[in-house]
Amino acid sequence: MLTVRATLVDTGLKPGTAAAAQQVEAVLWAHATAEHGLEHVRVQTVGSTIGVVLFLRTTCQIDALAKANSLLLCALTAPTRARFTAVLHVPDRPTPTRNHAVIRPQGEIASSGCREPDQRGPHGAH
């Protein structure tokens, strides 16, 4: 299981509220399917944003990012997509400025620092 963090920023520049965080959590669960692999979700306000941690059934960071992206695109339907911009943060990466993906309204991932893990093991052996 891997976690993917996301930050939701209100496009109207309204501060994050507990009610908005609860709404986001409910919407995520309502739209999650088996393909998303969602095991658990944590949602809370963090300053003027809403922080989300998705716990996903996968062992691949690329797969985790794709599942999180898909879930957020499904969950942030027209009314909430117009309100929030979502930024995904790939776990366990050393440089935060290169390891995030912005979900654009069209649904594509703008950028990502995620790479497929090396399957050869720590010493290069298969």
What pLDDT is attached to residue 119? 39
What pLDDT is attached to residue 92? 55
Fold of the domain built from segment(s) 2-102: Alpha-Beta Plaits (3.30.70)
List the domain boundaries for the chain.
2-102
Helix (H, G, I), strand (E, B) or coil at 106: coil
Block mean pLDDT (10 aa), the chain, length 126: 91 80 91 96 91 94 92 78 77 44 47 38 40
Rg of the chain on CA atoms, in Å = 15
> Considering the entire predicted model, what is its pTM?
0.69
**Helix 61-75 × helix 18-31 angle, to 10°:** 110
